[in-house]
Amino acid sequence: MFPQQYPDGGFIPLTREAVRGITHLGGTILGTTNRNNPLRFPRANADGTVEFVDRTDEILDAFRLQGIDALITVGGDGSLEIANALHKKGCRVIGVPKTIDNDLEKTVITFGFDTAVAFATECLDRLHTTAASHGRIMVVEVMGRYAGWIALNCGIAGSADVILIPEIPFDIDVVVQKIQQRDDQGRNFSIVVVSEAAHPLGGKIIAQSQFGRQERLGGIGEIVATELEARTGKEARLVVLGHLLRGGSPTAFDRLTALRFGAAAVRALAEGMHGVMVALDPPNVRYVPLEKVAKRTKTVPLDSDVIQTARDLGICLGDRLER
């Protein structure tokens, strides 16, 4: 779509030698972007207005020109929506679920999630020390888009006292009561984990719209920290983990999952399959239709045993106190 940036066509043969030694690396050697979705590509008109056009036919033309007969799409909800659109236009496509948010339907887990949760948990472990030493409230904002999987899992594993996720709108008064309850029990500090899309009862998700990009979430952590400091009289500090969760060396689980997904994707094409996404259905990998994944978000079910585990441990989820 931007040929001037790729004078050589942008093609690199992925031989065994080319990919040797990448298993322990974070990120992606292919490069990536979440700007300018080809299904809704912004185009400026002569009168100064902007319209959004579908440019997927140009992608298919480029494939034919280069002799590309199949595509493996590695990514999250946006990537798989594009993959499904290309599939409907006759392109042989296999989807591979990769996102730290773990918010894709039909797969138990996406690779990237375990690494993000592991790092966030390590950060919470470290923050316990400084929080206890200074008697502070530490508010930790984590990514996750519109699903609370990262916040909930790292919060439980990292012994958080409060976890706020998008699926459960929170009452700040309940959170304040939890902090005060801990003070009454002789615990002079608290750890509060906040998902970037968490929002109060009757409130909206904080997001910034940017032209040609996904909505940028974030900012709720600062609001929560400010409110807690004002209402409790205790010092509250905000830590935004942000893009730290998206980098670093992947965990053994993520390495294994990525390798299994990659091998399964190639195997599917070799066997004549297309229009499907590789999914983890323990103990096996299976294939699900792309149309059952595209434009859908897997949020945390309110009856999830993970939510019940948090409540059983006395963790406040912002809607009520757990005794």
Burial class (CB in 10 A: 0-12, 13-18, 19+), 234: middle
Nearest to 99 by CA among 52, 47, 146: 146
- Report the alpha-carbon distance of residue 295 to residue 276 in Å, rounded: 14
Q: Does residue 283 have a cis peptide bond before it, meaning omega lies within 30 degrees of 0?
A: yes
Contacts of 43 (CB under 8 A, 6+ apart): 50, 51, 52, 53
Whole-number Å distance between alpha carbons of 47 and 255 = 50
What are the two backbone dihedrals, phi and then psi, of residue 171, each rounded to the nearest 5 degrees? Answer: -105, 115
Closest CA to 240 of 205, 299, 195, 175: 195
Residue 258 φ then ψ, to 5°: -60, -45
Residues 6 or more apart whose Cβ sits within 8 Å of residue 23? 255, 259
How many of the other CB atoms lie within 10 Å of CB of 245? Answer: 23
**Six token digits for residue 93:** 């496509």
Let me know if 281 is a catalytic residue.
no
Residues with Cβ within 8 Å of 25's Cβ and at least 6 positions away in sequence, in order, are 249, 250
Catalytic residue, chosen from 47, 77, 101, 184, is 101
| Catalytic residue set | 101
